[in-house]
Amino acid sequence: MNTPLENKSTLEDIRIRFDNDVDRFSNLETGQAATIDAPLAMELITHAAVSCTINIQKVLDIGCGAGNNTLKLLQYTSPFDCDLVDLSQPMLERAHARIAAVNKGGIRTFQGDFRTVNLPDQGYDIILAAAVLHHLRDDQDWETAFRMFYKLTAPGGSVWITDLVSHETESVQSMMWNRYGEYLDALGGEDFKDRIFAYIDKEDSPRPVTYQLDLLRRVGFDHVELLHKNSCFAAFGAVKRG
């Protein structure tokens, strides 16, 4: 990834891309085909959320897209109230419709960056953040986001993340990037791989999973778990003391 942080896509650029890609993200199994082990990662974070959280009444889905992760969570637990946050209004509308069809709890939608949306402190038993944090930029961005996670999580609640990640060692980064390239090539050919790599370079700025686990501890979470990692993708989370 060679594009400097200051030249990466803006939030508005990202919003426009996702406004035009709603249908692709509206499938639990294939919506994230370019993400290695996406169905497994989604299953692990939602199942872990239910396993670690005794009383699930309110859920926050950050960067909810078309609602896949909240829909998966509903497969493991009873109905709950949920707040959905996304940059894309068409994504929010699709997520609301899909979730309302199977969930008896209340549903609210918020268009925008979750760091600036008015959300209740300690208001959520579970927070989900799937394929969204790689849009953060500098260290201050990352710390602000993770402190917001802690602020919004209710005592005894948990936050669960799946995302593109980088690596601390340059040689390992190169190795894992090559492995990811082989996966994309096998999935859709050389042109598909080049297209995915081009928008990652322009749009994304991932951090190592080790960096993010340390940051979860630093902002106050008591128990941190790495559920799964394969090549450049990881699933992990943290629990706040009750």
148-172 per-position pLDDT tens digit: 999 999 999 999 999 999 999 999 9
The SS3 assignment for 142 reads helix
* All structural domains of the chain with their residue ranges: 5-239
User: How is residue 227 written in tokens?
Assistant: 């559920």
pLDDT at 17 over 90: no
pLDDT at 116 over 50: yes
pLDDT for 3:
81
The arithmetic mean of pLDDT across residues 196-221, rounded, is 94
Upper half-sphere CA count for residue 49 (Cβ side, 13 Å): 34
pLDDT for 30:
45
Question: Can you state the angle between helices 209-218 and 139-152, rounded to 10 degrees?
Answer: 50
pLDDT for 18:
62
Contact 175, 166 (CB under 8 A): no
pLDDT for 230:
96
User: How is residue 116 written in tokens?
Assistant: 């600036």
Out of 3.20.20.20, 3.20.20.70, 3.40.50.150, 3.40.1350.10, which CATH number does the structure's domain 5-239 have? 3.40.50.150
pLDDT for 54:
85
Q: Which of 27-41, 116-130, 132-146 has the lowest mean pLDDT?
A: 27-41
pLDDT for 16:
66
Which own/partner contact pairs does 212-218 have at CB distance under 8 Å and 24+ positions apart?
212/133, 212/142, 212/146, 212/161, 212/165, 212/236, 215/142, 215/143, 215/146, 216/146, 216/149, 216/159, 218/146
Task: Tell me the percentage of the chain whose pLDDT exceeds 70.
Answer: 90
Predicted TM-score (pTM) of the model is 0.92
